Structure 1
Amino acid sequence: MSVLDQLKDCPIIPVLRKIPYEKSAGIIQALYEGGIRAVEITMDSENAEAMIREALDRFSGKLLVGAGTVLTIADCDRAMDAGAQFLVAPNFNSDVLAYAVEKNVPFIPGVFTPSEMVLADQAGAAMVKLFPASTLGPGFIKDVKGPLGHIDILTTGGITKETVKSYLDAGAVSVGAGSALVRKEFVEREDWPGLSAEVRGWLGG
């Protein structure tokens, strides 16, 4: 199964932005034990490349590890050198997307309008990231999936445990979740069982 097909089977993709490097192994283990099968480690995090490499080594074949906040071709190179299996950006930069497509790495650019969705899809995006999703809401996804049903949508930004189901029900393939899922108190207390339980709540278990 391709990386893209595997991603489509991951309803929740935690976005790990600037998490403490020394706690990253515990966080990712807790997410995995809760049922997560793909994570996004943002490239603006300290030791991002090391976290990507270590997660891939520890969860080889069991967890997809991607890179987020990939804004430049240099970010692409850093992420790919670390082994990132997919790349995500908050924006749509056609040059960066073209570079990733050339390197045969799934790239998910950020979009906000139907026109951007179509342009990104035509340029080879693996799927598109609707960001910030909470500004538009699940109704936008349902409406846009009518004429653009062939474009897979990842939604990120302002989504909570209470609203995640509404985005998936509206037609989103996956939901990216940051601090609303990987909450500060779990990390500070190293409450990994609590984080695993939180994940199960998001997944509806």
Structure 2
Amino acid sequence: MDINQLKSLSIIPVLRKIPYEKSKDIVQALFDGGIRAIEITMESDRAELIIQETVAEFGEKMLVGAGTVLSIDDCKRAIKAGAQFIVSPAFDETVVAYAISANVPVIPGVFTPSEMLKAHNAGVAMVKLFPASVLGPGFIKDVKGPLADIQILTTGGITKETARDYLDAGAVGIGAGSALIKKEFIASNDWIGLVNEAKAWIQNTK
């Protein structure tokens, strides 16, 4: 996978601890709403199976990544399951090195300019600013001055209403969790509601 494919997508839903038995419906609803990349976190129930099944069903139409990758073991299991990109909430040099050696794009979590530069120098093509809402869009705008070449994905506390601000500040994309994949949609099997929510996020970030 070319990281440029991810850069062309403004919203990447984060599927964290979703019920396995509803995973296909959730992914289908997101796809129907226009989503073309998702992140399935490794602490989810049967995460590897969800990745495998999603890649088998949507692999040609949607990028399927693994999130909350905290160790080389997590990384190996995610890649073996078919993950097309790796996301971590923190910068672990061993995880980054392993993913790069496996030719799988890796997006480590960072919080400071020093971490951004260190990750960039380690060979990553994109970093994840997390938790982004603590710093706000202004931080991205400021840091993109001296670190213009670093591609920043933002995750953590971002809402449908604030997402556009982060993109305008220079972020290449938004990782959206429970603010998009709302618990009430899943609890009530309201897949039409999830489709419409995905559409609204995309509309707000155009």
Band the TM-score falls in, shorter-chain normalisation: over 0.9
1:10 paired to 2:14: no
Unaligned runs of at least 5 residues, structure 1:
none
Check the 8 A contact 1:3/1:85 in 2, yes or no.
Answer: no
Partner of 2:90: 91
Partner of 2:104: 105
Question: Where do 1:109-120 residues align within 5 Å?
Answer: 109-120=108-119
Q: Structure 1 counterpart of 2:10, which letter?
A: P
1:155 paired to 2:157: no
After superposition, the CA RMSD in angstroms is: 0.8
Percent identical = 65
Partner of 1:130: 129
1:30 paired to 2:37: no
Structure 2: distance between partners of 1:53 and 1:96: 21
Deviation at 1:165, TM superposition (A): 0.5
Structure 1: distance between partners of 2:19 and 2:125: 30
Question: Where do 1:154-173 residues align within 5 Å?
Answer: 154-173=153-172
Unaligned runs of at least 5 residues, structure 2:
none
Deviation at 1:126, TM superposition (A): 2.4
Partner of 1:74: 73
Deviation at 1:102, TM superposition (A): 1.1
> 1:8-61 CA distances to partner (integer Å, 9 max, x unpaired)?
111000000000000000000000011100000000111000000111111131
Structure 2: distance between partners of 1:60 and 1:41: 14
Taking structure 2 as the reference length, the TM-score comes to: 0.97
Q: 2:96 is paired with a residue of what secondary structure?
A: helix
Check the 8 A contact 1:138/1:166 in 2, yes or no.
Answer: yes
> 1:34-93 CA distances to partner (integer Å, 9 max, x unpaired)?
110000000011100000011111113100000000000000110011000000000001
Structure 1: distance between partners of 2:95 and 2:57: 29
Structure 1: distance between partners of 2:40 and 2:124: 19
Deviation at 1:3, TM superposition (A): 3.0
Taking structure 1 as the reference length, the TM-score comes to: 0.98
After TM superposition, which residue ranges in structure 1, 4 or more long, deviate above 3 angstroms?
none
Check the 8 A contact 1:35/1:199 in 2, yes or no.
Answer: yes
Q: 2:203 is paired with a residue of what secondary structure?
A: coil
